[in-house]
């Protein structure tokens, strides 16, 4: 009976010719095999020179959702994991998750009261929704009270009792991020994703691209927002490939409405992750029905992707020449359609344009002043986000002749220039709500400064920024009757000083009666005077120190 056990031990300690144990190299061997399988040179090529893929456009790979896999490709498995590999006997049982890895420091998970239901299936697309049970609704009401108190400590207390309440985790993450505690902010977002993934329906699939969630339902918004905040942390952490996969996941949940407008971000992540083929394929497949070329980010990023493809020496010369031609044609169309992008882009890249470009009115200050506020928000967002990708001297050398070619077309009064000017005047009159939501979540100062007053004047909560105007509400918060809604400014001021003060007292139903109104006024004044007396009686003044003893007597209670 001991023989198999002895053989097992021998297998564990068996060394290869390099003197390293097989156990230490398992993960590296698997990664090398996967990289060879997914070698782009082995992928089928189309006649147009663009790599084709039989999988759906928004297909999500599970292994690309794990940032450790991307870091291991950059630095090696041993550098990323180090001594973190626990032995099998010491390993605690945790549920296997795709979106995030549970941590030992997290509180023990128990059912929170969130579930997911399958609503219906239409044309091969499955529509799901999260649901809040009664106990979770009660916690949600307490959370709204804590938010209204404007005290983050109340949210902390709520999380101590309900450690996996999703909206509390999202809101407290924003507080930690404002206090420069990035690690805790990221940890709270991961815990929110873990809580939501534990509630997934058995049929709900992250990878198929055919599962939908309706952002109009408040219960579903937390999942969208947690994914978006998580991918922003991943991009700052230096994992653009993983962030791109999460971006594709968000887009697949509602590709028609795109409630967080991740189309304004997906091109940047594709360029950062060097997924140029995916970006060009997205543009080719969606341009006909989504008009992606009318967004400044796609108008400039797609030709940049073609340029990078043309610089890859491992590609055939025919494919590289076709990519160069497409890059030249598309960048000229982008400069004609959005001339206001060039000068801020050069300014961010610390590049001084030549005299002809700097003095020409087509790219001058007038191009930025004459454009609508909605278009200004889109161009500011793109320049602020992607200017670092244009700093490459090779990119600037490629861009320069095309700028001069566009100026030649402008001076020749080309038809394309006149059509683009007409489109700019008709379109971009006002930005949809999802673009405002994206700008707020992105916190790009260039674009945030361009937001209209109707957006900046209203309070924006991190757990639900700019909720849709056509929300589908399944349950409502009970009305709070403790404070009358028609309080005056003076009453609100004294309530801020004295929380128990009430100028109006009980609401009278015979408010039309003049005698009753006069009596209410007298009672309100009497209550105000009593409150003032009470406040003045409680004010204590400290005596100034005497001249003969400026430090005081040193006696403290």
Among 186, 295, 319, 268, which Cα is nearest to 444's?
Answer: 268
What's the rounded Cα separation, in Å, for the pair 158 and 139? 8
Indicate if the alpha-carbon torsion angle 286, 289, 293, 295 is positive or negative. negative
Q: Are strands 114-122 and 125-132 parallel, antiparallel or unpaired?
A: antiparallel
Q: Which helix (H) or strand (E) holds 121?
A: strand 114-122
Q: What is the pLDDT of residue 461?
A: 87
**Residue 275: C-alpha distances to residues 100, 301, 302, 305 (Å):** 23, 12, 11, 8
Q: What is the DSSP string of 171-221?
A: HHHHHHHHTT-HHHHHHHHHHHHHHHHTT--TT--SSSS-EEE-TTSHHHH
Give the pLDDT score at 77: 75
- Consecutive 10-residue averages of pLDDT for the chain (557 residues): 49 45 47 48 41 77 91 80 53 67 91 94 94 96 93 94 96 93 96 96 92 96 97 95 97 96 97 97 95 96 98 94 97 96 95 92 89 93 96 96 96 94 90 94 88 87 91 87 54 53 47 51 60 57 54 48
- 174-200 per-residue burial string, b: 16 or more CB within 10 A, e: under 16: bbbbeeeeeeebbbbbbbbbbbbbbbb
Among 1.10.357.10, 3.40.50.2300, 3.40.190.10, 1.25.40.10, name the CATH number for the domain at 55-79+97-102+113-260. Answer: 1.25.40.10
Residues 543, 547, 549, 551, CA torsion sign: positive
Measured distance CA(8)–CA(188) in Å, rounded: 41
What is the per-residue DSSP string for 411-450? HTT-HHHHHHHHHHHHS-SS--HHHHHHHHHHT-HHHHTT
Is residue 64 within 8 Å of 278, Cβ to Cβ? Answer: no
According to the model, what pLDDT value does residue 13 have? 45
User: Who's near 141: CB < 8 A, 6+ residues apart?
Assistant: 477, 478
* Phi, psi for 539 (deg, rounded to 5): -80, 130
Please, which contacts does 178-181 make with residues 24 or more away whose CB atoms are closer than 8 Å? none
CA-based nearest residue to 162, from 183, 132, 182, 185: 132
Strand-pairing partners, residue 121, are 126
> Which H or E element spans position 362?
none
Helix, strand or coil for residue 238? Answer: coil
CA distance linking residue 242 with residue 244, whole number of Å:
5
CA within 13 Å, CB half, 166: 31
Nearest to 222 by CA among 261, 274, 175, 168: 168
- The 3-state secondary structure of 366-397 reads HHHHCCCHHHHHHHHHHHHHHHHHHCCHHHHH
Q: How far is CA 376 from CA 253, 341, 344, 395, in A?
A: 28, 9, 11, 24
Q: What pLDDT is recorded for position 72?
A: 87
What are the structural domain ranges in the chain? 55-79+97-102+113-260, 262-431
Q: Taking the CA atoms of 340, 344, 345 and 350 in sequence, report the sign of the dihedral they define.
A: positive
Task: Say what the pLDDT of residue 37 is.
Answer: 43
């Amino acid at each position: 009976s001991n023989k198999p056990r002895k053989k097992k031990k021998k297998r564990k300690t068996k060394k290869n010719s390099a003197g390293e144990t097989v156990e230490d190299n398992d993960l590296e061997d698997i990664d090398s095999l996967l990289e060879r399988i997914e070698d782009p040179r082995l992928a089928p090529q189309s006649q147009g020179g663009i790599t084709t893929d039989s999988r759906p456009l928004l297909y999500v790979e599970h292994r690309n959702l794990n940032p450790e896999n991307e870091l291991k490709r950059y630095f090696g498995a041993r550098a990323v994991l180090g001594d973190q590999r626990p032995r099998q006997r010491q390993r605690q049982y945790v549920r296997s998750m795709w979106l995030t890895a549970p941590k030992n420091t997290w509180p023990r998970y128990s059912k929170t009261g969130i579930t997911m239901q399958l609503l219906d299936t239409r044309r091969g697309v499955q529509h799901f929704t999260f649901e809040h049970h009664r106990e979770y609704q009660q916690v949600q009401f307490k959370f709204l009270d804590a938010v209204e108190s404007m005290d983050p400590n109340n949210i902390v207390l709520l999380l101590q009792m309900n450690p996996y309440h999703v909206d509390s985790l999202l809101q407290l993450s924003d507080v930690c991020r404002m206090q420069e505690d990035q690690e805790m902010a990221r940890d709270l977002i991961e815990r929110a994703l873990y809580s939501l993934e534990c509630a997934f329906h058995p049929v709900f699939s992250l990878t198929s691209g055919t599962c939908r969630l309706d952002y109009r339902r408040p219960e579903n918004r937390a999942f969208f927002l947690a994914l978006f905040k998580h991918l922003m942390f991943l991009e700052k952490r230096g994992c653009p490939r993983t962030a791109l996969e999460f971006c594709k996941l968000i887009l697949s949940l509602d590709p028609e409405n795109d409630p967080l407008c991740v189309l304004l971000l997906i091109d940047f992540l594709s360029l950062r992750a060097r997924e140029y083929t995916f970006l060009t394929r997205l543009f080719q497949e969606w341009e006909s029905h989504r008009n992606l070329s009318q967004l400044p980010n796609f108008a400039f990023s797609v030709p940049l992707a073609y340029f990078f493809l043309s610089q890859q020496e491992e590609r055939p010369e025919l494919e590289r020449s076709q990519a160069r031609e497409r890059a030249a044609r598309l960048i000229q169309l982008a400069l004609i359609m959005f001339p206001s992008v060039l000068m801020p882009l050069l300014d961010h890249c610390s590049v001084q344009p030549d005299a002809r470009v700097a003095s020409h009115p087509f790219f001058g200050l007038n191009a930025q002043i004459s454009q609508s506020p909605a278009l200004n928000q889109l161009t500011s967002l793109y320049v602020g986000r992607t200017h670092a990708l244009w700093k490459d001297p090779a990119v600037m050398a490629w861009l320069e002749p095309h700028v001069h070619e566009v100026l030649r077309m402008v001076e020749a009064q080309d038809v394309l220039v006149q059509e683009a000017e007409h489109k700019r005047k008709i379109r971009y009159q006002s930005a949809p709500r999802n673009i405002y939501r994206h700008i707020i979540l992105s916190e790009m100062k260039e674009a945030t400064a361009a937001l209209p007053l109707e957006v900046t004047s209203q309070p924006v909560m991190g757990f639900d920024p700019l909720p849709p105007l056509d929300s589908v509400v399944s349950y409502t918060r009970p009305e709070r009757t403790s404070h009358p809604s028609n309080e005056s400014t003076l009453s609100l001021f004294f309530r801020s000083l004295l929380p128990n003060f009430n100028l109006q007292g009980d609401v009278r139903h015979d408010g039309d009666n003049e005698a009753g109104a006069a009596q209410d006024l007298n009672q309100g004044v009497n209550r105000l005077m009593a409150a003032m007396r009470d406040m003045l009686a409680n004010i204590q003044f400290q005596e100034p120190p005497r001249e003969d003893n400026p430090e005081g007597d040193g006696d403290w209670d």
